[in-house]
Each structure stands twice: as C-alpha cells, then as structure tokens.
Structure 1
Amino acid sequence: MTRVVGAAVLAAVLLVVSTALGIWWTARQDSHPSSDAIVVLGSAQYNGVPSSIFEARLEHARDLYEDGVAPVIVTVGGKAAGDQFTEAEAGRDYLAGAGVPEEALLAVPEGEDTLESMRAVGAAFTERGWSDAVLVTDPWHAMRAERMAEDAGMEAESSPTRQGPAVQTRDTQFRYILRETAAYLLYRVTGESVAGAPGIG
C-alpha cells in the first residue's frame, strides 16, 4: 500500500511539474504563421476602455496585423453584470481608433471565460470557412488557450504578449504559472474552465 501511495504521489508531482514546464515553454514561443485571423483573448475593460492587460494584447495584435500575419483581427469576450460594453466591443473600438480598418475587425461578444470564448470563436470560424488562428494572450495563458481553441475546431498557434502586468516581475510570472497549471489540469480532467486572474478564466 505504501508503494502504491508513493507511486501515485510521484505521478501527481511529475504531472504538475511537466504541465508547469509545458506552460513555461509555450510562453517562450512566438508563432507568426500566415493565418485566417488573429484572435485576441479578452480581458477587463472599464466603460469601453481596455485595461492595461487587454491593451497590451490589442497592441500586439495590431503589430501582427500590420506585419501581414492575417487579414482580420477577431476580438472576443462578453461583459460582466452591469457593464455597458463587452470586451470584444471595447477591443474592436480600440483597434479601430488605432487605425485598423473596420473591415479587418470582427467582434465576437460572447464568453465569460476562455472556454466559452473559444467555442464562440470556433463557431464564427466555421461560419466563415476559416480554420487557422494566431492567438494573442498573456504568455502563461497560451498553452491552455491553444488547447481550448483546438478543441473548438481551430488550428491554433499563439503569439503571446511581452508587455503588460503579467510579465512585469518574476514573482508575478511564478504566480501566473502556478494558477495556469491548476487551470490547465482542471480543464484536461473535467473539460471545464475556471476563473483565474483577470482575463484568464
């Protein structure tokens, strides 16, 4: 019995460590394949103004668009109770104000967390005959976002942001990796999402 318990504990530890390393490794990658659309994962917005985390994602998506990675930027995310704007609308309006043509913007104003948002984007892709996406989110969120996008029927790679609060300090990075490790494992086991730090539910 002791050996069985010990083996189970060791297996659990190895699973957690390997997942954390996978999150760290994915965070260090930056893919720019030619794609159907750049998908910006939503984050907090305040009366239509993107938070600093969200703004960093939007600016990175605009850079990718200007580099010719994809002809369309998709912003995604619903709204909290009492909000007047969805994350998707706030993101679209920010990018339009930054000079991205309206015909190159698509808002998908659905989803209270990453899983719901990816399912909504997957449906939008299917309607338009799209398949390939470059996901823009925080580095530590990239691996889970890729998995959820693929489960929603997309061929997804990620180009994480390198600016913003999520990457400011080593302490912040460590906390995000721990949180994402738990969230990723929960998703793989249950198929459900979990609320985490702002914008990474």
Structure 2
Amino acid sequence: MKWLRKTCLLLGALLTVYAAWTAFCILSFSQVTETEKTDAAIVLGAAVHSGEPSPVFQKRIDHAVNLWKEDQVDALLFTGGSAGNNERAEAEAAAAYATGQGVDERHIYMETKSRITEGNLRYAKQAAAAHGLNTFTLVSDPLHMKRAEAIAEDLGMDVISSPASDSAYQTWKTKIPFFLREWFFYTGYQLLSPFRF
C-alpha cells in the first residue's frame, strides 16, 4: 500500500508539473510574433454568423490583410468549412471580407472542408501545394498559436507565428475560458501526437 501511495503521489506530481509546463508554453508563445516574409498567411477559421465573419474571425482576417498590404505575405489562404444549415463556409466568408478590404482576389486561396484546427492545416497544406505555396505565416488568436504551430510543424509545414495583434479576446473574462480550452486541447494533442503521424 505504501508503494502504491508513493506511486500515485509521484504520478500526481508529474502530471502537475506537465500541466504547468504546457500552460507556460501556451502563454509565453502567445507573445511571439515572427516577421519573416512568407508565401502565404494561413488564417485559421472561426465562426460565421449569417454569412459574415464573427468578430473573432474578423480580427484574424484584418491581421492577415495587413500582412498582405505590408508585403509580409504574397497571398492569403483562408480555412474553414460550413457549420451546416446552408451557412456559408468560413473560408468563403473570409475571402469575401478580405476582398472588401482591398485584397486582390487573385491572391486569395481557400480550403472549405475543415471544421477543426487540425483539419484547417491539413487541407490548407493540400491547397497550398496545388498553388506552389511553400512557406507560411500562421494567423489566429494569440492563445491558439502554440497548438496551431505544433500541428503545422508535425504536418511538415514551414511556418512562422503571427498572432492577431487586436484579438477579440482582450479581457480576463474572455481570455480565461479560451486559455483553459487551449490548455486542454494542447495537452491532449501533445500526449496523443506520437500516435497521430
């Protein structure tokens, strides 16, 4: 019984340390912005309401549009499928919004199949290959960036991080639930990743 108790305490301590480490990684990486020019900004999808990007999605798109206007990327690659009920695909809504912001539609690419972050990046990689795009700037909310970049790198993509500087998640009331969600998914992804690829 003593051996079992010590083993449980040790496992509990290791899990606590691991949980603290993953939380630190997410928070510290959320502040990382890389500025090397790339072939395209991959904008990770978010909700669409009545055919229009949600406020969260708009901030991501605005950030990517600014990268394009500042010649930090040559193209924009929007990701995200439809939630159903005849709703417009996230990528389609993003492309229309970006065009309205002055982006030349010839510099816009899309994937419209995915529903989750891993799918965003898998299908984006396929779309990019079809158009000769090889290097990427990932765009999402700051707390999402660690998991997104980990997935992209596991997929063999050449990526840098550029979180939306004006994220819709500005207050602790909005940041904490988003952080806890990302901590849960990132921790799970790290634990399961050896079995995924």
TM-score, normalised relative to structure 1: 0.90
Question: Following the alignment from structure 2 to structure 1, what is the Cα–Cα distance between the partners of residues 15 and 61?
Answer: 37
The answer for unaligned runs of 5 or more in structure 2 is none
CA contact (8 A) 2:80 2:115 kept: yes
The answer for unaligned runs of 5 or more in structure 1 is 192-201
State the Cα RMSD in Å. Answer: 1.5
Question: Following the alignment from structure 1 to structure 2, what is the Cα–Cα distance between the partners of residues 43 and 152?
Answer: 21
The match for 1:175 among 174, 177, 184 is 177
Q: Following TM superposition, where does structure 1 have runs of at least 4 consecutive aligned residues deviating by more than 6 angstroms? A: none
| Secondary structure of the corresponding residue to residue 119 of structure 2 | helix
CA contact (8 A) 2:37 2:72 kept: yes
CA contact (8 A) 1:72 1:104 kept: yes
CA contact (8 A) 1:52 1:164 kept: no
Calculate percent identity across the aligned residue pairs.
30
Report how many residues are paired. 191
CA contact (8 A) 2:90 2:112 kept: yes
| Secondary structure of the corresponding residue to residue 36 of structure 1 | strand
| Residue 33 of structure 1: aligned partner | 36
The match for 2:139 among 136, 158, 163 is 136
84 and 169 in structure 1: CA distance in 2 versus 1, 3 angstrom threshold: closer
CA contact (8 A) 2:110 2:124 kept: no
Deviations 1:58-111 (A, max 9, x none): 101011111111110011100112133100000001000110001111111120
Question: Following the alignment from structure 1 to structure 2, what is the Cα–Cα distance between the partners of residues 32 and 8?
Answer: 41
| Residue 151 of structure 1: aligned partner | 154
| Secondary structure of the corresponding residue to residue 160 of structure 2 | strand
TM-score, normalised relative to structure 2: 0.91
